[in-house]
Amino acid sequence: MSWWLPPAASTFAGPIDTLFIVILILTGIALVVVEVGLVVFLVRYRARPGRKAFYTHGSTRAEIIWTAIPAVTMVALGLVSNHYWVMMKSKKSVPANAIRYGVHAKQFEWQMSYAGADGTLGTDDDFMVRNQLHIPVNQPVSLTLTAEDVIHSFFVPEFRVKQDAVPGMNIVAWFQATKAGEYEIGCAELCGMGHYKMRARVFVHTPEEYTAWLAEQAAAAQGGE
């Protein structure tokens, strides 16, 4: 569906797009039914010479039907949406083998933290790269989002991932990219005058390319010390 939706590049894309299309179809049907009914009633019950208007209470059965159908539909959509929400947003849903990264948002840039030689994020050998997130393809990744000043929002349309970064909070988001390539990170929350330029890139590498990139960055970090 890339002709009208962003190309799908993560395991979340399929469920999100399916749910979107189902909701679009249901609301589209409701729109057509309501508008056709409106036109029919306008024509059928229009004012005509010699016809006197009269009051009617309506139909209790009809009112129950048109209330029950949307209610049942909304409950069903809510249950399905909650399933996907838990699958994508719950802390317990993060795979045990996910690679951890730190993503710190500030006006107007993204600071990505990577684990150093010890493979553990949050230790002295971590290194930071500005506005570049490098990850391996087909591997779950976990981002710990923080913000320095105002609310920002980490958004990669191709991954169907959008998560706010809030000052004073550590918010975890995870995903698994399925296609190697380069993608744009945008801030989806108005965060100040420079909001429009708060962009970064995600580089999805093959495992070999990612290992080589990590080794190069670790060596450069040690050399800088």
* Domain harbouring 122, CATH code: 2.60.40.420
Q: What is the pTM of this model?
A: 0.84
- Within this chain, do residues 115 and 69 fall inside the same structural domain, yes or no? no
| Domain stop point among 91, 110, 129 | 91
pLDDT confidence tier of residue 203, bands split at 50, 70 and 90:
very high
Task: Say if residue 62 is exposed, middle or buried (CB neighbours under 10 Å; 0-12, 13-18, 19+).
Answer: exposed
- The DSSP output letter for 48 is -
Instruction: Tell me whether residue 77 is in a domain.
Output: yes
Q: Does residue 205 share a domain with residue 183?
A: yes
The pLDDT of residue 220 is above 80? no
| pLDDT, mean of residues 204-220 | 89
What CA–CA distance (Å, rounded) separates 48 from 45?
A: 9
* CA atoms of 68 and 119, how far apart (whole Å): 55
- Considering the domain boundaries, does residue 123 fall inside one? yes
**Is 85 found in the same domain as 102?**
no
Q: Are residues 205 and 175 in the same domain?
A: yes
128 vs 111: CA distance, rounded Å = 7
Q: How far does Cα 74 stand from its chain's mean position?
A: 21
Instruction: Tell me if residue 199 falls in helix, strand or coil.
Output: strand
Number of domains in the chain: 2
41 located within any domain: yes
Residue with tokens 């395991």, as numbered in its chain: 11
| Residue 4 in domain | no
pLDDT of residue 221: 67
Give the integer Cα–Cα distance in Å for 147 and 166.
Answer: 5
Per-residue pLDDT of 88-131, as tens digits, reads 998 889 999 999 999 999 999 999 999 988 888 988 888 999 99
Task: Verify that 128 and 38 share a domain, yes or no.
Answer: no
Write down which residue in 91, 126, 160 finishes a domain.
91
Percentage of the chain modeled with pLDDT above 90: 75
Residue 39's domain comprises 13-91
Torsion, Cα 49 51 53 58, to 10 degrees, reads -130
Please say which residue of 62, 91, 120 terminates a domain: 91
Q: Are strands 152-156 and 132-136 parallel, antiparallel or unpaired?
A: unpaired
Q: Are the CB atoms for 107 and 149 separated by under 8 Å?
A: yes
Model confidence pLDDT, tens digit, residues 39-86: 999 998 888 888 887 787 878 898 999 899 999 999 999 999 999 999
